Structure 1
Amino acid sequence: MITPALPPSPGPCGRSGTGADDESITAWALAARGGDADAVDHFVRALHRDVRHYVTFLGADPQSADDLTQDTFLRALGSLHRFEGRSSARTWLLSIARRAVIDSIRHSSSRPRLSATDDWEAAAERTQPRGLPGFDDGIALAELLETLPDDRREAFVLTQLLGLPYAEAAHVSHCPVGTVRSRVARARTSLIEWLNDAEDVAPVAAAA
């Protein structure tokens, strides 16, 4: 059997932290399914950052985000034999990450939530959204996202931070495309209102 040529190894920067596009990532996933060790490495490195950001912004505390990321990839690698490339590998993997977060919440619902501001701020600095005013004023992205309901936060993170098309975000979230669009629009409105309120308060605090 002739192994198809794979895309070049991902670089150090770009979308998902690697510069790899969805077609390349999906090709690596399909090759990894066939036992290609190099493809497994490329696949994991291409999506590691996206998965960690996603589980973090879904509400995982920083201490558990790494564990959930690892759990996601362990689940994915154990299920690669069932991946047929009908959706992008990115969408498929984020769906697994979502289930990992849900399972974690179910198993630790009585555990108090932790926070680590430094970690959140670092994540915010690496994933600034485009088109929203005020983020350069030192307002932490994570603090803004915490004001949103869970479903709107997830839709915003998937489409605006991770760059998934609305159709793929709908697939990950198990809801219609129109619902994702509505959630993103409402999230944007809420975030802009929050920013406007913060900007109104700031001059008063400075004067005091």
Structure 2
Amino acid sequence: MITPALLPSREQSREESITAWALAARGGDPDAVEHFVRALHRDVRHYVTFLGADPQSADDLTQDTFLRALGSLHRFEGRSSARTWLLSIARRAVIDSIRYNSSRPRLSDTDDWEAAAERTQPRDLPGFEDGIALAELLDTLPDDRREAFVLTQMVGLPYAEAAVVSGCPIGTVRSRVARARTSLIEWLDDTEGPRPAAVAAA
């Protein structure tokens, strides 16, 4: 379980509630299942989106994550927070999706299939441009830094929990987040210059 020192009391209470819902859902409580899914749906979708999923596959990966989680609830014992456990499942779902898609033959008759897909997306949604700008900026980060930044700064996971999800030491997560912040601040300060190229992973 999450220790009190890791989170402010209000956030700690939320994490404990989510974990309690997961444990109750494991016991077959349908209301607990609904609360669990609603509480974490947004976090999971943000996480899979910023790991590189396009808008269409992000919805599918979010659904796949919850299907996997609900099928595995009998193994959840509450040793970590339910959110950490669920985001670990989301990470595996993204990795499995990337492996599956890379093994499939390419069916598009255009070289620039990503641009073609982008043109079909609605552009009049509130916050659309901001979301695209943020996604493009985060795309310039190496995968490990982007994941650490999204987990801690956007999803709001404590560093210790992000380390569990990522499967690395907490110090590594802190380092990745610090480097991501430095890169993003430098690029935002240099808005007049050319768009940054992806940097090499540490």
Is TM more than 0.5 here?
yes
Amino acid at match of 2:168: C
Task: Specify the code of the residue in structure 2 equivalent to 1:164.
Answer: L
**Within 5 Å, which residues of 2 pair with 1:1-208?**
21-109=14-102, 114=114, 116=118, 125=127, 140-199=133-192
- Identify the residue that residue 205 of structure 1 maps to in structure 2: none
Identity between Structure 1 and Structure 2 (%): 81
Residue identity opposite 1:29 in structure 2:
A
4+ aligned runs moved over 4 Å, structure 1: 110-113, 117-123
Task: Encode CA deviations 1:7-41: one digit per residue, 9 max, x unaligned.
Answer: xxxxxxxx9xxxx8111100100000000000000
Total equivalences in the alignment: 174
Cross-structure match for 2:198: none
CA distance in 2, matches of 1:122, 1:147: 24
Q: Distance in 2 between matches of 1:68 and 1:45?
A: 16
Amino acid at match of 2:91: R
- Structure 1 residue ranges without an equivalent (≥5): 1-14, 127-135, 202-208
Question: How far apart are the structure 2 equivalents of 1:158 and 1:178?
Answer: 15
The separation in 1 between residues aligned to 2:136 and 2:65, in whole angstroms, is 25
CA distance in 2, matches of 1:74, 1:195: 38
Name the residue aligned to 1:130: none
TM-score w.r.t. the length of structure 2 is: 0.78
TM-score normalised by the chain length of structure 1: 0.75
**Aligned-partner Cα distance in 1 for 2:142–2:51:** 10
Q: Which has the higher contact order (CA 8 A, sep 6+)?
A: 2
The offset of 1:143, in angstroms, is 1.4
Deviations 1:159-183 (A, max 9, x none): 0001100000000000000000000
Tell me if structure 2 keeps the 8 A contact 1:120–1:142.
no
Give deviations 1:152-203, integer Å, cap 9, x for gaps: 00000000001100000000000000000000000001101111111457xx
Aligned partner letter, 2:177 = V
